[in-house]
Structure 1
Amino acid sequence: MPLEPDILLNNRYRILDQLGSGGMGAVYRAHDENLDVEVAVKENFFVSEESARQFQREAHLLFELRHPGLPRVIDHFVDEDQGQYLVMDFIKGEDANQVLERHGGPLDEKLVLGWGMQILEALKYLHSRQPPVIHRDIKPSNIKVTSSGRAMLVDFGLAKEYDPTKSTTVGAKAYTPGFAPPEQYGQGRTDPRTDVYSFGATLYNLLTDKIPEDGLRRAMGQAR
């Protein structure tokens, strides 16, 4: 059930409005009563034990990350009746997909490559950690552009630490057709190259205003 405006979570975060929702949760804009700043509150419904574990892993993984191209995690808490929550920096601005739709056609090459360099800096930071952190869902709607023009990588719902001995778990399987590489469709192992593929597909989309050919079809030689 969606949280109503003005509800106070954890005696600290006052809900302002809902930013988005899906089958496993929702994201809200809220006011941090302690620090007097706006924050993003990501809610995870207790859909399954696996989804709860995955969300908690995301919280612990993100809490350690500090980079100007990534939002900071501020807090993580559980409400036994509603679900668990991740509190992050609220990044004002449009996502790259919204910019593309508003523009009504391919974006300027210089603009896109500028964003791309900033996202690559964030990816370099993630992939250089020990163990490497893989985002696994890079696409235009997960790149937020601030009012100052800074491109930031958001939504780490599928992120994981890279373990070369393990394949992708069932609970963590998800992908966006056109932006996901073939290994995300089955039991293949994802690694930093997964993000590189999705990053390239994202640039293609922003520069052409076309969705890239599905990765699995390409791998099977069925690309149009």
Structure 2
Amino acid sequence: MSQVHVTLPPGVTIRDPSGNRYTIESLLGRGESGAVYLVRERRLQRMFVLKEVIDPSTQDRERVTFEGEVLKHLKHRALPRVYRIFEHEKLRRVYLLMDYVTGNNLEDLYRRQPAQRFAVSVAFTLLAPVVDALSYLHMQKPPIVHRDIKPANIIISASSGETVLVNFGIAKHYIPDATTALIRRGTPGYAAPEHYMGGTSPRTDIYGLGATFYTLLTGVVPPDVITRIMKNNKGSDPLKFAHQLNPLVPESLSEALRRAMAINAAERFATVKEFWWELTRQA
């Protein structure tokens, strides 16, 4: 089996250049070019998330190092802290060490609600910290685009009780327009057309944020954007207005969500702040 596809089993210890040792507790997830582990720091017995890029090329190694250094300097209450990035030459892997955020994610929580959706006021409260975090990311130079905004990537922290935006990945370099992209691709229903066609920007996150808000208010995941494009070319967009699925959603709010999820990025709100201002004005 190629080493690219080999993940490390529980019990293996990874040592960083400073001598800190991290024991793998479990595998949290894996992808084509890496994995995510829950690890325990041996000295302090503290839990962390360890992101791994397996057998990177020279270009990938430089890109991962650059983006890791960018993430290390981020400080926001709704974002997990990134502490260090290091390389294990023997294993041919690059690692990113960050906070382990415990708690329930919004996908699980909205499905547990009696109507499998949140009240408008509750959705606003839950997403307010995430909106602030996205604005913070987009104001970085170059802007940082998360590219995988969805309910499953928003956790209500067990320690703070507030929502935290998680799942920053490092998989594929993308800075043609001077933005730093931290996720290879998005999730169907929440991913904008740019995920498939290239040219992501902060407006890509606006699409994902709009789709997330839509799901929390309706209990329905929006149609995949490829399906939308195909049917829209025939004159019928399958994306229903939120108020059609939940009559408690004001029509004006529903229209703002629709604009945020416009197929054409230029038709969306220019910034997260502009989108949020319009939402709060219409609620």
Same fold? TM cut 0.5 = yes
Q: Pick from 39, 42, 50 the counterpart of residue 33 of structure 1.
A: 42
Q: Which moved more, 1:199-208 or 1:33-42?
A: 33-42
Asked whether 1:179 is paired with 2:184, we answer: no
User: Residues 161 and 22 of structure 1: is their aligned pair in 2 closer, same or farther, counting only changes over 3 Å?
Assistant: closer
Q: Pick from 98, 101, 107 the counterpart of residue 97 of structure 1.
A: 107
TM-score scaled by length of structure 2: 0.68
Q: Give a deviation string over 1:181-212, Cα, whole Å, max 9, x none.
A: 2222213x222111111101011112212111
Asked whether 1:223 is paired with 2:234, we answer: no
Asked whether 1:62 is paired with 2:71, we answer: yes
CA distance in 2, matches of 1:7, 1:153: 28
Letter of the structure 1 residue corresponding to residue 128 of structure 2: M
User: Residues 40 and 173 of structure 1: is their aligned pair in 2 closer, same or farther, counting only changes over 3 Å?
Assistant: closer
CA distance in 2, matches of 1:94, 1:115: 12
SS at match of 1:223: coil
| 1:157 equivalent in structure 2 | 169
Q: Which moved more, 1:126-135 or 1:156-165?
A: 156-165
Q: Pick from 131, 141, 144 the counterpart of residue 155 of structure 2.
A: 144
CA distance in 2, matches of 1:158, 1:42: 8
Q: Which moved more, 1:1-10 or 1:199-208?
A: 1-10
Letter of the structure 1 residue corresponding to residue 30 of structure 2: S
CA distance in 2, matches of 1:41, 1:173: 18
Query: Cα distance, 1:153 vs. partner?
Result: 1.0
Contact 1:132/1:161 (CA < 8 Å) preserved in 2?
Answer: no
| 1:87 equivalent in structure 2 | 97
Query: Cα distance, 1:152 vs. partner?
Result: 0.8
Query: Cα distance, 1:36 vs. partner?
Result: 3.4
CA distance in 2, matches of 1:12, 1:70: 24
Q: Pick from 10, 14, 31 the counterpart of residue 5 of structure 1.
A: 10
Percent of pairs identical after alignment? 37
User: Residues 120 and 106 of structure 1: is their aligned pair in 2 closer, same or farther, counting only changes over 3 Å?
Assistant: same
Letter of the structure 2 residue corresponding to residue 73 of structure 1: V
User: Residues 139 and 54 of structure 1: is their aligned pair in 2 closer, same or farther, counting only changes over 3 Å?
Assistant: farther
Letter of the structure 2 residue corresponding to residue 205 of structure 1: T
Over aligned residue pairs, what C-alpha RMSD do you find? 3.0
Residue correspondences, number? 222
Query: Cα distance, 1:78 vs. partner?
Result: 1.4
| 2:211 equivalent in structure 1 | 201
TM-score scaled by length of structure 1: 0.84
Asked whether 1:131 is paired with 2:103, we answer: no
User: Residues 102 and 85 of structure 1: is their aligned pair in 2 closer, same or farther, counting only changes over 3 Å?
Assistant: farther
Contact 2:34/2:53 (CA < 8 Å) preserved in 1?
Answer: yes
Contact 1:132/1:162 (CA < 8 Å) preserved in 2?
Answer: no
CA distance in 2, matches of 1:167, 1:63: 17
Query: Cα distance, 1:90 vs. partner?
Result: 0.7
Query: Cα distance, 1:13 vs. partner?
Result: 0.9
CA distance in 1, matches of 2:173, 2:75: 16
Query: Cα distance, 1:145 vs. partner?
Result: 1.5
CA distance in 2, matches of 1:29, 1:215: 33
Task: Show structure 1 runs of 5+ residues with no match.
Answer: none
User: Residues 22 and 172 of structure 1: is their aligned pair in 2 closer, same or farther, counting only changes over 3 Å?
Assistant: closer
Q: Give a deviation string over 1:153-203, Cα, whole Å, max 9, x none.
A: 11222699996746999x97523221122222213x222111111101011
CA distance in 2, matches of 1:158, 1:5: 22
